[in-house]
Amino acid sequence: MRKTALCLLSAILLLFGLAAPASAYEPVNIVHTEKVQAGPYNVTVGFSTWPLKAMQSLDFTFAPDDGITGKAGVVMLSLGEEREGERLARHPRKREVWGLDVYSLPEPGDWTMRFDIEGPAGTGTGELRNLKVMEQPGPPLGLSWAISTIPLFGLVALIVIAWRRTRRPV
Amino acid sequence: MDLTASVAAEARSVPKGLVPASFVLGGTFLSLVGLTWDIQWHSDVGPDTFFTMPHLFLYSGSAVAGIASLVVVLMTTAAQRRGQRTDPIVGGRAVGVFGRTFAAPVGYLISGIGAASFLLYGLWDQWWHGLYGFDAVIASPPHIGLLLSVSITMVGAVMVFATAREHRWGLFGTIGSAAVLLSFSMVTVLGLQALPRGTVDSVDVGVAFMSVLILLMGAGAVGRRGGALAVAAVVAVLQAVFWWFSPWAAEVYADATGLPVRDYVDGVPALPSMIPMCLLIVAVAVELLRKLPAAVAGAVGGLIVTVCAPLQTSLVYGASLPDTTPYVFTVLLGTVFGALAGLLGRRFGQMLRHLAPAKETSHA
């Protein structure tokens, strides 16, 4: 019993020992920036990958020139009827600026990023237009879904077999 | 004296089949805990890597269930090769796999296939994240593949316990494993978000369908008055415990890893709030209507779930109620799918009852 407990403990320690170096969270590396003038606020929009591709997640950062202290607001991403809005919150891995972490845009096209900011200098609105998002990488989505729903079809096949063999009530 | 000792030892020993069945159920429970923790982590804290604690729970859940299933299959195969009679109380009748290379009790075969499938979809998920980044989207194709794989293991767990439904441990295990499957399925149905957006809320309809299906299946497998109510009661307990656990675990883990909680976190436990709070009412309706055709009980269940869904969202998140037209259409479709789920659920319950070994007559 004691040996089993020791083995189990060693396995757990080994597991966490190996997991610890791999669990380091990646820093936010901005590779491209754009400028947006939202009323009195000049905002630098940072992207951790460029160009953008549909469904590919990245880190966005939003940095007003004089910092985020005392300011609040909303960022709205839109493409035609599609709209996604978020309150401007600090980026979890870059707390000195606002941001969206591992965030993806679902469709290709020319997106608009709109900022509504309130701060000591009053309110301001500004847009980054024609933010080009390219086609999604990888296989067509239909194929990905077909591969991913194989277990469901397997389950249906099991049900069909079981259905045929269990007609008699028990 | 020897006889007395033997009888006493027999009385103290663990019932045959209970140990591996408990490992499979324990594995599925670990997966459920990992899932609620992981969803809350992404909602409240954020960053993702392959090796997070919630992920370890998810992986180890499938690993525990898979290894237990494999051990049972290997032991059954070895026993058959020695010409020994295998007891069908352990996971049901053994079926040949790869010709007659392996003899696998059908319940453990299904739970094992689910665990093996989880491994394959884990690789698919890693490839996906390499291409698309570590997005925290539940309804991505590989995530749905992973969730479906775990669901298959959970179906195997229900089968393993339903085989022993004549025993107390089999009865309780059937109720518990059905409750775990029902709770987990509330996340799997989010895959319906991939359907084109229309007038109907496809996720609400999916929640109604799966809730009714598993409640009636569990009740049918148990085959006693109060079966649906027992499954719903266990789901309610899981919902209550996870309501406390999920935000707490996310915050404790964030503190341990030195990560901040996001700004403007709403504090709502994500997975527990996907489970219909009206499930006990649905179960009461199913119990009261058990003498009527299953479609009637199912339709009533689907109606209750889809009527209550926006009310629950409004209560929990403070969201506004939907417009009348999509609401009415969702309720109508929920009722229709509830009726279908009722029919299927009762039939699935009957299928599960077939798994139990036939009773031997006393004069045989």
State the Cα–Cα distance between residues B282 and B271, nearest whole angstrom.
20
- pLDDT value of position A4: 52
Give the best residue of B43, B143, B148 to mutate against chain A (max A CB count within 10 A): B148
- pLDDT value of position B86: 85
State the Cα–Cα distance between residues A43 and A33, nearest whole angstrom.
10
State the Cα–Cα distance between residues B175 and B235, nearest whole angstrom.
10
- pLDDT value of position A11: 55
All residues of chain B having their beta carbon less than 8 Å from the beta carbon of residue A100 are none
Give the residue from chain A lying closest to B139, CA to CA: A145
State the Cα–Cα distance between residues B235 and B242, nearest whole angstrom.
10
Question: Would B6 be classed as within a structural domain?
Answer: no
H or E segment and range at residue B51: none
Question: Would A120 be classed as within a structural domain?
Answer: yes
CB-CB contact of B140 with B148 (8 Å): no
- pLDDT value of position A21: 39
- pLDDT value of position A2: 60
Strands laid side by side in the A94-103 sheet: A32-38, A41-47, A58-64, A94-103, A90-91
Question: Would B257 be classed as within a structural domain?
Answer: yes
- pLDDT value of position A98: 96
Cβ separation A24–B134 shorter than 8 A: no
Question: Would A88 be classed as within a structural domain?
Answer: yes
CB-CB contact of B162 with B352 (8 Å): yes
Tokens of B90: 């352990």
All residues of chain B having their beta carbon less than 8 Å from the beta carbon of residue A169 are 350
- pLDDT value of position B199: 87
Tokens of B183: 């709770």
Question: Would A17 be classed as within a structural domain?
Answer: no
3-state secondary structure of B295: helix
CB-CB contact of B75 with B88 (8 Å): no
Question: What's the distance, Cα to Cα, between the start and end of chain A in Å?
Answer: 44
Give the distance from residue B45's alpha carbon to the nearest chain A alpha carbon, in angstroms. Answer: 7
Total domains in chain B come to 1
Q: For A100-158, how does the pLDDT look when each residue is reduced to its tens digit (9 = 90+)?
A: 998 999 999 999 999 999 999 999 999 999 999 999 998 999 999 999 999 999 999 99
Give the distance from residue A98's alpha carbon to the nearest chain B alpha carbon, in angstroms. Answer: 10
Give the best residue of A8, A29, A102, A105 to mutate against chain B (max B CB count within 10 A): A102
All residues of chain B having their beta carbon less than 8 Å from the beta carbon of residue A93 are 46-47
State the Cα–Cα distance between residues A85 and A45, nearest whole angstrom.
16
Distance (Å) of CA B227 to CA B209, B219, B232, B347: 18, 4, 9, 15
SS3 track for B99-150? CCCEEEEHHHHHHHHHHHHHHHHHHHHHHHHHHHCCCCCCCCHHHHHHHHHH
Question: Would A167 be classed as within a structural domain?
Answer: no
Name which residue leads in pLDDT, A61 or B257.
Answer: A61
All residues of chain B having their beta carbon less than 8 Å from the beta carbon of residue A49 are 133
State the Cα–Cα distance between residues B102 and B171, nearest whole angstrom.
28
Count how many residues are written for chain B.
364
Whose CA is closest to B143, among B206, B183, B188?
Answer: B188
Q: For B302-320, how does the pLDDT look when each residue is reduced to its tens digit (9 = 90+)?
A: 999 999 999 999 999 998 8
Q: Which domain holds residue A67?
A: 32-137
Q: Are strands A72-79 and A41-47 parallel, antiparallel or unpaired?
A: unpaired
Question: Would A97 be classed as within a structural domain?
Answer: yes
Question: Would B10 be classed as within a structural domain?
Answer: no
State the Cα–Cα distance between residues B137 and B185, nearest whole angstrom.
16
Q: Are strands A122-134 and A52-53 parallel, antiparallel or unpaired?
A: parallel
- pLDDT value of position B133: 85
Cβ separation B133–A104 shorter than 8 A: yes
- pLDDT value of position B3: 44
Question: Would A13 be classed as within a structural domain?
Answer: no
In the predicted model, residues of chain B with pLDDT beneath 70 are 1-12, 47, 136, 359-364
B 192-251 residues with CB < 8 A to A: 194
Cβ separation A102–B134 shorter than 8 A: yes
Of the partner residues A25, A87, A145, the one whose CB lies closest to the CB of residue B194: A145
Q: Please give the interface size between A and B, counted as residue pairs whose CB atoms are below 8 Å apart.
A: 115
- At B165, give phi and psi (nearest 5°): -65, -20
Percent of chain A with pLDDT over 70: 85
Q: B134 touching A, CB under 8 A?
A: yes
Residue A82 belongs to a domain with what CATH number? 2.60.40.10
Question: Would B217 be classed as within a structural domain?
Answer: yes
Q: Which domain holds residue B321?
A: 15-353
Give the best residue of B48, B110, B263 to mutate against chain A (max A CB count within 10 A): B263
Question: Would B7 be classed as within a structural domain?
Answer: no
All residues of chain A having their beta carbon less than 8 Å from the beta carbon of residue B132 are 55-57, 104, 137-138
Residue A44 has pLDDT above 80, yes or no: yes
Whose CA is closest to B146, among B59, B33, B30, B48?
Answer: B59
Question: What's the distance, Cα to Cα, between the start and end of chain B in Å?
Answer: 30
Question: Would B287 be classed as within a structural domain?
Answer: yes
- pLDDT value of position B92: 87
Return the number of other C-beta atoms located less than 10 Å from residue A1's C-beta. 5
CB-CB contact of B212 with B301 (8 Å): yes
- pLDDT value of position B229: 97
* Contacts with A9 (C-beta within 8 Å, 6 or more apart), sequence order: none
ipTM exceeds 0.95:
no
Exposure b/e, B329-362, CB count within 10 A at least 16 = b: bbbebbbbbbbbbbbbbbbbbbbbbbbbeeeeee
SS3 track for B246-272? HHHHHHHHHHHHCCCCCCCCCCCCCCH
- pLDDT value of position B359: 66
Give the distance from residue B283's alpha carbon to the nearest chain A alpha carbon, in angstroms. Answer: 23
Cβ separation A104–B135 shorter than 8 A: yes
Return the number of other C-beta atoms located less than 10 Å from residue B8's C-beta. 10
State the Cα–Cα distance between residues B55 and B265, nearest whole angstrom.
22
Question: Would A64 be classed as within a structural domain?
Answer: yes
State the Cα–Cα distance between residues B127 and B82, nearest whole angstrom.
43
* Contacts with A131 (C-beta within 8 Å, 6 or more apart), sequence order: A34, A52, A110, A111, A112, A113
Question: Would B22 be classed as within a structural domain?
Answer: yes
Q: ω into residue A51 within 30 of 0, thus cis? A: yes
Q: What are the start-end ranges of the H helices in chain B?
A: 2-12, 18-44, 53-81, 106-132, 141-163, 168-188, 202-222, 227-257, 279-288, 294-317, 324-353
CB-CB contact of B234 with B179 (8 Å): yes
**pLDDT level of residue A168 (50, 70, 90 thresholds):** confident
Please provide the DSSP assignment of A47-82 as one string. Answer: ESSSSEETT--EEEEEEETT-STT-EEEEEEEETTE
Q: A89 touching B, CB under 8 A?
A: yes
Cβ separation B51–A138 shorter than 8 A: no
Total domains in chain A come to 1
